[in-house]
Structure 1
Amino acid sequence: MKNNFEKDGIILLNKAKGISSFGAINYLKKIIGAKKVGHTGTLDPMAEGLIMVLINNATKFSDELTKRDKEYYVEMELGYETDSYDLEGVVTRKFSGKIEISDEKIETVINGFLGKIEQIPPMYSAIKIDGKKLYDLARKGIEVDRKPRKVEIKNIREIKIERNEKVKISFLVEVSSGTYIRSLVRDIGEKLGVFATMTRLIRTRIGEFVIEDAIAISEVEKQLEEFEKNRKEKFENFEPFGYFAEIEYVLEYLGINVSNEKYEKLKNGMTVLTSHKKFENISKKFGKRIVVLVDQKYKIYVRDRRTQNRVFRGIVKVVKVTEDRIYLKRDKYFL
């Protein structure tokens, strides 16, 4: 029987080392029969960890969900640098002397990157310059100037330093979206004056979602096989995921109630009016005043006429605000 998973939401996937993000995501799409899949940020093949896979119409929120902060576990070695800033590349610079830097100095340098910094993306990245991806140019041996990007290193903790034949360092780091950990490692090595290369990378968190709730492809396959053996319900109810969340619970917008009549108008593309009172009720619920502005988005709910249950029906956007009225229109995700 052909699988056909029709729900909209996210699956937290724990990507294994050695497989590309697109390979993992597309294989997941195939085995569960999703119509569409997307992501909120890929990982290099050598990297491991959390990928937020957007399923079906949740792909419409890729841009918004991509902006969330991320956390990584990082391992690096001092003494050399590669063209890709990680173990996948070719060594381009090597420190010839003995590395004699104290643990205190290493920790001071690493913590010195906390805050808002400028970072030059590595050549081996998917950024486009003049329509060409940097990693395509890098593979041809072409290096181009890259403009620095403003990113934020929000937290660094659990720094560990191991000294055997090589000096190895590990730490956990929380960063803003768009931060390249390979570039951070490279810059740490540059600041220490002995070069550095990233040797391992695990993404442990995206926003509020953590790797402990993620599932490996191999586990999805096992649970899918078990479900097929004992199938007693529709495949759409199959949720073999360490964490699957429908789109209603992923988006961080506030929710408002509308009447069934206004919902039908919104569904037909019409603009509807609502009062400030609805938003004052939200203010009371959260204990702070909600300021309604144009372009803000909200989840909307209607009452099911039969059960009287509150039902999520999509996303609306504020298109106009006056003294006594707020004008709403349906957004790109609407049921």
Structure 2
Amino acid sequence: MKENGIFKSDGIVLLNKSKGISSFKAINKLKWIIKSNKVGHAGTLDPIAEGLLIVMVNNATKFSDNLMKRDKEYFVEFELGYETATYDTEGEVTEKYESEINISYEKIFEVINSFTGEITQIPPMYSAIKINGEKLYELARKGIEVERQARKIKIYSIREINIEQNKISFYAEVSSGTYIRSLVRDIGRKLGVYATMTRLVRTKIDKYSMDESVSLEEIEKKLNDEKEIFEKKLVKDTSDDSSYNENNVDGNGKIEEIIKFKNIECIFNYEKITVSEEKYKKLKNGMTVLVGFKKFKDLHTVVENNLYCVYAKNEISGKKEFKGIVKVTRKSHDKVYLKREKYFI
């Protein structure tokens, strides 16, 4: 792996993805802007969709599975009267309701709310699910439709339902793996008039909200503003022969501030324990260490394969610093055996 990036920290960025750009292009543009070594994302948003995208930076990419399986919330808008091949406005119209749509608000509310709870859902053909090694959307583009297995998903809540003639919107809190386009399609069919998604915004992923996010446009503007400030200072002080680069910004702690960077420990919900510098070094070298029961809040919850966030005191600053994840390998009558997991600094 090349370690030539300017931005070295491990953690996440809550990116507000704009409509019209793929998730892949969005995160790689962020990588280029901040000059990090690696980026990844926790859950694709189609180009037509917008909103919250968790971008994992550098070694935080190791935890994509951890972040991918979390519950999500969406704001969706859709239109009654027709259905497309992709269940959104990107596809060709495949079904159309020819009569006048005349459904009471009460009926619409009833049908929408009937989808809350645990339900089964058939994924759309235009999705990244693989069958026999080939993505469904690749088959769909060839005009091939295959049978898809229904999946169990959960719609925790649907709220703020708004109806304006044939256009409807609401917020839905759902389990990981839920396709909102399919939900819209199923609502339209249950109403008997078809429906197509016209807008989708991901507003939350687990505890992370779009209110905390930042867009690529905001990042670029703020970095350009910093560059202008730096260049104006150089003009005033002609004795300074340095030139602007991203290191100047990062050196002032500005990049993390501008991208609203969250350090990697925010990903984990594990209990925190502190170890000595000596034991930290042993863990780092792959050795198993023994710690006393007093390190843990509740000894009854300490079982084999449990994971914990480990902290050690910095010898210079005296502050406790996050060092990585450890796993319980064994528990004896008075000691707990710990070994480092794949993420360890």
Post-superposition shift, 1:290?
5.6
1:277 aligns with 2:294: yes
Of residues 89-98 and 223-232 in structure 1, the stretch that sits farther from structure 2 once superposed is 223-232
Deviates more, 1:305-314 or 1:59-68: 305-314
Matches within 5 A, 1:248-267: 248-267=265-284
**Offset of residue 277 of structure 1:** 2.3
Percent identity for Structure 1 against Structure 2: 58
Among residues 315, 322, 325, which one is paired with 1:312 in the alignment? Answer: 322
- What TM-score, normalized by structure 2, do the two folds share? 0.90
Letter in 2 for 1:145: E
The 3-state SS of whatever aligns with 1:61 is: helix
Corresponding position of 2:240: none
User: Does the alignment pair 1:235 with 2:250?
Assistant: yes
95-104 or 178-187: bigger deviation: 95-104
Aligned to 1:303: 313
| Alignment deviations for residues 232-287 of structure 1 (CA, whole Å, 9 cap, x no partner) | 946253225453100012322111011111111101101111222221xx24xxxx
Q: Look up the match of 1:140.
A: 142
- Separation in 1, partners of 2:5, 2:305: 38
Amino acid at match of 1:325: K
The alignment of Structure 1 onto Structure 2 pairs a total of residues equal to 324
Structure-2 separation of matches of 1:108 and 1:242:
42
Q: Which string of whole-angstrom CA distances, capped at 9 and with x for unpartnered residues, describes residues 91-132 of structure 1?
A: 111112221111111111111111111111000000000000
TM-score normalised by the chain length of structure 1: 0.93
Alpha-carbon distance, 1:18 to partner: 0.7
After superposing on structure 2, the runs of 4+ consecutive aligned residues of structure 1 that deviate more than 4 Å are 231-234
Look up the SS of the partner of 2:301 in the other structure. Answer: coil
AA matched with 2:270: Y
1:266 is aligned with what amino acid? L
RMSD of aligned C-alpha atoms? 1.6
| Distance in 1 between residues matched to 2:225 and 2:7, nearest whole Å | 16
Deviation at 1:326, TM superposition (A): 1.7
Contact kept, 8 Å, 1:223 with 1:240, in 2: the verdict is no
Contact 2:22 2:46 in 1 (8 A): yes
2:93 to 91, 94, 107: 91
Does the CA contact (< 8 Å) of 1:3 and 1:31 recur in 2?
A: no
Tell me: CA distance 1:103–1:42, structure 2 relative to 1, closer, same or farther (3 Å).
same
In the alignment, is the contact (CA less than 8 A) between 2:83 and 2:194 conserved in 1? yes
- For the residue of structure 1 that corresponds to 2:211, the secondary structure is helix
Q: Are 1:222 and 2:221 counterparts?
A: yes
The gaps in structure 1 that reach 5 residues or longer are: 284-288
Alignment of 1:156-235 (within 5 A): 156-163=158-165, 167-229=166-228, 230=230, 233=248, 235=250
8 Å CA contact 2:86–2:125 kept in 1: the answer is yes
Corresponding residue of 1:23? 25
Deviation, structure 1 residue 156: 0.7
- Change in Cα spacing, 1:221 to 1:3, as seen in structure 2 (3 Å) is farther
Alignment match, 2:102: 100
Letter in 2 for 1:304: N
Provide Cα deviations, 1:152-198, integer angstroms capped at 9, x if missing partner. Answer: 101110001111xxx11000000111110001101111111111110
